[in-house]
């Protein structure tokens, strides 16, 4: 279905309850509804926003177009949780119904200040000529959960030198000042980030562009984030317009990080190489927060812009990733599923096997929603791995190729195809004698943590409900494997 501009800009307030209920009914019948991931009730979800801890709860908002699987007029939808595992839908947080966000309440972040949760976001507006004018706005949530937008934008104009692609403020506090980093496009159509400061969240001063060693790296940097872990600065951003290179950058847009400490005085960052955060097919626009116990936690959008997905015909699209804890170990960023997720563990099963150029299945090792940790020790096998969500026609293959020293994720036969224009295999290098695959599988997704978070592959897959088999294999020689699996949900 082609969506007209008018349809994309139809607000949920303007459709009847019956119309929305009919859409919801259609969505509820989708065979690919997730069982333990944050997903929209209807329509399209994209970036995580305002991820924070306030008043005893985690708050996680997301970009939402309620009326269909397209990027229409965006709302902020609010979910909250006491444990990062069980999330409660808390309703629409920001409606795009003011002059300063008339064409969408776009992405932004949250920070606790004066015992309230401050949400700083981009108001997307367009004039009569359909020219975009981004505004940076603030809304404040109190302990009762009431959210009040401020009457005027705090940053009304785009500074000279940048186009109207200027959005996604991420706020933090440092030495008694607030800083906001904003994704931008220079007038020469290259991407960058800029820095603002404020003593009080009200008055914001443009400090300047952050000087990096990547002056020509794509045409727009979306959703920047900056934080430190044990004193090491990390700048995350989602650049658009990067060409594939070896195993990297194969999705339409990328998300990655550089290590480097941002000097707010000189607005510069002396940093290392840009590294992709995730090796899978569906990961974009992540956002982090600092948990009360000091952990740095990341959630991403398990989807990408401008792609079609098999759930489109069911009236919805996308979900968020599980929360991951970030650490820096031996100079590398490590991502692990947060330990709270162990609460989801149901029935436990274990198995082990010596495999010799063969494929094996084990009784009761099957499922469509589960967690599994599976370790391989390679003897003389060329490759080893697992196949999940298997039936006679379908399989999703996770393999370690010892000859190439690479991990591969192959979703060619995973079921219905997400947009296959960008290929159906993802790979990354990994030199190891022992390989551990830690998987979280849901009705239509796979999050694969390799070797204790050294690499992550996040992907949607769209198998039939009866594709529940799990197989273990070694090719060209011997490998031994040990697996433990927990059911999740029913």
C-beta closer to ligand FRU: residue 255 or 351: 255
Contact with ligand FRU (CB under 6 A): which of 305, 346, 476, 477? 305
What does the DSSP assignment read for 42-78?
A: SEEEEEEEEEEEETTEEEEEEEEETTSSS--S-EEEE
CB of 118 to ligand FRU, least distance (A): 18
CB of 47 to ligand FRU, least distance (A): 5
Which residue lies nearer to ligand FRU by CB, 163 or 327?
A: 163
- How far apart are CB 184 and ligand FRU at their closest, in Å? 11
The answer to whether 276 and 284 are in contact (CB under 8 A) is no
107 part of the interface to ligand FRU, by CB under 6 A: yes
Matching residue, tokens 């009431």: 146
Instruction: Using DSSP, state whether 11 is helix, strand or coil.
Output: coil
CA–CA separation, 9 and 474 (whole Å): 52
Judged by beta carbon, residue 168 or residue 276, the one nearer ligand FRU is 168
Asked if residue 278 binds ligand FRU (CB under 6 A), the reply is: no
222 binds ligand FRU (CB under 6 A): yes
Query: Distances from the Cα of 410 to the Cαs of 327, 415, 483, in angstroms?
Result: 28, 12, 20
Q: Smallest gap, in angstroms, from Cβ of residue 124 to ligand FRU?
A: 7
Residue placing its CB nearer to ligand FRU in the complex, 8 or 250? 8
Question: Between 48 and 87, how does the x/- string for binding to ligand FRU read (CB under 6 A)?
Answer: ---------------x----------x-------------
Q: Tokens for 30, please give them.
A: 């989708």
Taking CB under 6 A as the rule, does residue 285 contact ligand FRU? yes
Tell me if 138 sits within 8 A of 130, measured CB to CB: no
Contact 369, 465 (CB under 8 A): no
How far apart are CB 75 and ligand FRU at their closest, in Å? 10
Euclidean distance between CA atoms 285 and 252, whole angstroms: 13
Which of these is catalytic: 14, 18, 47, 410?
Answer: 47
Interatomic CA distance for residues 78 and 387, integer angstroms: 36
Residue 412: left if φ>0, alpha if ψ -120 to 50, beta else—which one? Answer: alpha
Minimum Å distance from CB 308 to ligand FRU?
Answer: 16
Binding mask 25-54 for ligand FRU (x = CB under 6 A): ---------------------xx-------
> Does 98 interact with ligand FRU (rule: CB under 6 A)?
no
Residue 301 half-sphere exposure toward CB, CA atoms < 13 A: 25
Looking at the Cβ atoms of 204 and 284, the one nearer to ligand FRU is 284
Q: Are 224 and 168 in contact (CB under 8 A)?
A: yes
Q: Which of positions 147-176 make contact with ligand FRU (CB under 6 A)?
A: 167-168
230 is catalytic: no
Q: What one-character DSSP code corresponds to residue 126?
A: B
**So which residues are the catalytic ones?**
47
Contacts to ligand FRU by CB under 6 A: 46-47, 63, 74, 106-107, 122, 167-168, 222-223, 284-285, 305
């Amino acid at each position: 279905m082609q969506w007209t501009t008018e349809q994309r800009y139809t607000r949920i307030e303007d459709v009847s309850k019956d119309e929305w209920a009919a859409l919801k009914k259609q969505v509820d019948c989708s065979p690919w509804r997730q069982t333990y991931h944050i997903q929209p009730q209807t329509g399209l979800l994209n970036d995580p926003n305002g991820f924070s801890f306030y008043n005893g709860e985690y708050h996680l908002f997301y970009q939402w177009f309620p009326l269909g699987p397209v990027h229409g007029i965006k709302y902020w939808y609010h979910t909250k949780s006491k444990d990062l595992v069980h999330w409660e839908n808390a309703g629409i947080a920001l409606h795009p119904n003011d002059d300063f966000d008339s064409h969408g309440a776009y992405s932004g972040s949250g920070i606790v200040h004066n015992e309230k949760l401050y949400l700083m976001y981009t108001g997307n507006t367009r004039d009569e000529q359909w020219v975009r004018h981004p505004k940076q706005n603030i809304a404040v949530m109190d302990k009762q959960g009431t959210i009040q937008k401020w009457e005027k934008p705090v940053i009304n104009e785009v500074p000279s030198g940048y186009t109207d692609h200027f959005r996604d403020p991420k706020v933090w506090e440092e030495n008694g000042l607030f800083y906001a980093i904003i994704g931008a496009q220079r007038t020469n159509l290259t991407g960058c980030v800029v820095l603002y400061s404020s003593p009080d969240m009200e008055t914001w001063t443009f400090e300047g562009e952050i000087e990096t060693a990547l002056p020509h790296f794509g045409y727009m940097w979306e959703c920047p984030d900056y934080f430190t872990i044990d004193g090491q600065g990390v700048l995350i951003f989602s650049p658009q317009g990067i060409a594939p290179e070896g195993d990297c950058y194969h999705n339409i847009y990328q998300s990655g990080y550089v290590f480097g400490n941002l000097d707010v005085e000189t607005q510069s960052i002396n940093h290392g190489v840009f590294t992709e955060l995730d090796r899978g097919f569906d990961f974009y626009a992540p956002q982090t927060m600092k948990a009360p116990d000091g952990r740095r936690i990341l959630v991403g959008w398990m989807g990408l812009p401008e792609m079609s997905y098999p759930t489109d015909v069911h009236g919805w699209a996308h979900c968020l990733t599980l929360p991951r804890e970030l650490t820096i170990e031996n100079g590398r960023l490590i991502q692990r599923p947060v330990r709270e997720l162990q609460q989801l563990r149901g029935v436990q099963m274990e198995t082990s096997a010596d495999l010799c150029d063969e494929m094996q299945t084990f009784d009761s090792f099957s499922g469509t929603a589960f967690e599994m940790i599976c370790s391989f020790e390679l003897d003389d096998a060329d490759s080893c791995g697992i196949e999940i969500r298997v039936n006679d026609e379908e399989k999703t293959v996770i393999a370690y190729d010892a000859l190439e020293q690479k991990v591969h994720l192959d979703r060619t036969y995973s079921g219905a195809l997400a947009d296959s224009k960008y290929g159906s295999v993802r790979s990354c290098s990994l030199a190891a004698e022992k390989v551990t695959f830690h998987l979280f599988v849901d009705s239509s997704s796979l999050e694969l943590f390799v070797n204790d978070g050294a690499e992550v592959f996040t992907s949607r897959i769209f198998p039939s409900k009866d594709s529940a088999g799990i197989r273990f294999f070694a090719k060209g020689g011997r490998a031994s494997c040990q697996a433990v699996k927990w059911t999740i949900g029913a």
